[in-house]
A and B are shown apart, each in its own frame.
Chain A
């Protein structure tokens, strides 16, 4: 029996996705609590050279599910490789990041392993040889504590709820290949086109400072003001679902339960009321600051600082003042 953390390469950078290091951090806690070894299963093409990184981050063993047809993510192939890896590892608990891959793979992998699945976990505890997982429900208004009733379980962890396992220089672990036979696997879906915006400034998921706009902005033009402020702050720009559905901003700017879940040091919400679905996207933000002309807006309950004012009256002035104070004229 073992704790398995599944890792794969970032499509754009080619590096191992940093989420693996968070899973290894969580995995180490589970390994200790359950008395089982921690195994990293790397799925992809060209992942073998990256095994050393997984070892340095605390894996007791690294299984490499390496195959040229795994270069491009495709669910049927990924599932076959991940299942083979989990079986070779003797997995009792499988950890995946609650990202796009985890969303599609975790329930399907659990089904194929005959196990239970729990998604979007924000905390966990080992108690009397069992794992208890906390996950938000009702748009984040409540938290459920759940427990698997099957010998195998697959859990997805929300990004940034666990610290990444630290690098232990020179730490090594045995690396083994997983026999991945994709001959019998029919890849039933295929990406034929990608339309991605080249973002200026930091990626929303990585940005330490995020400026975000909602329904209160009233249209697409005011987002230009937010972009100006973002430039002064070196921030990324996001939006609430209302702004996305209104067509004011591209949908990948959406922050929330089913948009991006982020954990910036500072989240400045302008014209956002703070519906729980949205706040679920920034629950791990260190500081939330809200500008909203409605003093009853729910966002003021979770904010660190609040300003009750029509954003049109203060946003340009705020941008100017920050530009002046930061010497970014």
Chain B
């Protein structure tokens, strides 16, 4: 079984708002003090793939990223978590790729690998928060999708895979035969494993496969800058803080003061 996991390197989304700044000309966040990290849900997708491989006792996992040289770091992370292979499509050879372009390039890269039984993506990237690339990638590859997946196991009818996913009111189990694409989300049982030190060292020695623009069959109009969607502006919304702090000399006083405030809102009671 061949599992392909798409991973993206992003500016750490956990930095506090006070350290967050925008370059309005470039229409991008300013890197500043923020470290570059693997997108949260992509790391979870890796964990889900690793757990599936553990369960099935077989399978190879290829981590794929589209990004500049710095993105090698997220591939090293994937290898340290025990992905088998890692591929970077040289993002520096493209400019202004939107979600449609990104999906098109990733599809072309995945077609150059051994056939994938399962493609896993994070539910959404931690910078764009868009949740588009995974679904567009499925359409590019002609794959069915299962979204908001938290774990995958074998043993479905006629060799199908079983996907546990988040639904509105709880959980669903969906069956689907390979090849198939899953977008992944967090749950208690898929918190990403911490790599062992020796695996981190091994990962640094492992060669990465690099794919350039010339290696891929692409429709040029799809990978033109902002081919489908243009970003007109990026701005930080102004926030007026009008938080009224509830005071009191004792917990009893504070609780009573807060209760009064809540009633004053005229929402309850």
| Cross-chain contact B228 with A141 (CB below 8 angstroms) | no
8 Å CB contact of A120 from B129, B241, B259: B129
> Which of chain A's residues 203-230 have a Cβ closer than 8 Å to chain B?
205, 208-209
What does the 1/0 interface line of A262-296 toward B look like (CB < 8 Å)? 00011010000001110010000011011100000
CB atoms of A193 and B172 under 8 A apart:
yes
A304 CA to B226 CA, complexed, in Å? 40
Asked if A257 is at the interface of the complex by the 8 Å CB criterion, the answer is yes
Contact across chains for A190 and B176 when beta carbons are under 8 A apart = yes
| Of B54-62, B140-148, B206-214, the one with at least 4 CB within 8 A of chain A | B140-148
Q: Name the one of B145, B167, B230, B252 contacting A149, with C-beta atoms under 8 angstroms.
A: B230
Task: Enumerate B148-190 residues with CB–CB distance to A below 8 Å.
Answer: 148, 150, 156-157, 162-163, 166-177, 180, 185-189
Query: Contacting B170 at CB < 8 Å: which of A106, A244, A252?
Result: A252
- Shortest CB–CB separation between residue B176 and chain A, in angstroms? 4
From A49-57, A59-67, A312-320, give the one contacting chain B: A312-320
Q: Is the CB of A117 within 8 A of B147?
A: no
Stretch of B71-79, B80-88, B110-118, B243-251 at the chain-chain interface: B243-251
B243 touches A189 (CB 8 A): no
**Most chain A beta carbons < 10 A, residue from B132, B136, B139, B241:** B132
Complex CA distance for A141 and B131, rounded to whole angstroms: 17
Tell me if B7 is interfacial: C-beta within 8 Å of chain A: no
Q: Which of B41, B176, B230 contacts A258 (CB 8 A)?
A: B41
> Within 8 Å of chain B (Cβ to Cβ): is A197?
yes
The reply to whether B235 and A120 contact each other, CB–CB distance below 8 Å, is: no
**Interface residues on chain B, size class:** 35 or more
Bound Cα distance from A301 to B242, whole angstroms: 7
For chain A, the bracket of interface size reads 35 or more
Distance of A144 Cα from B233 Cα, bound (Å): 6
Given A120-B131, A194-B171: A305 touches B243 (CB 8 Å cut-off): yes
B197 at the interface (CB under 8 A from A): no
Q: Inside 8 A of A137's CB, which chain B residues have their CB? A: 127-130, 234
Identify the B interface with A (CB < 8 A). 11, 13-14, 16-17, 20, 22, 27, 29, 41, 99-100, 123-124, 126-132, 135-136, 138-140, 144-148, 150, 156-157, 162-163, 166-177, 180, 185-189, 191, 226-237, 239, 241-246, 251-252, 254-256, 258-259, 261-263, 265, 267-269
A-B contact pairs, 12 of them (CB 8 A): A104-B145, A120-B129, A137-B127, A138-B13, A138-B29, A144-B231, A148-B229, A191-B173, A192-B157, A252-B169, A300-B243, A304-B243
Which residues does A use to contact B, with CB under 8 Å?
12, 75-76, 99-100, 103-104, 106-108, 110-112, 115-120, 132, 135-150, 188-197, 199, 205, 208-209, 233-234, 241, 244-247, 250-252, 257-258, 265-266, 268, 275-277, 280, 286-287, 289-291, 298, 300-309, 313-314, 317-318, 320-322, 325-326
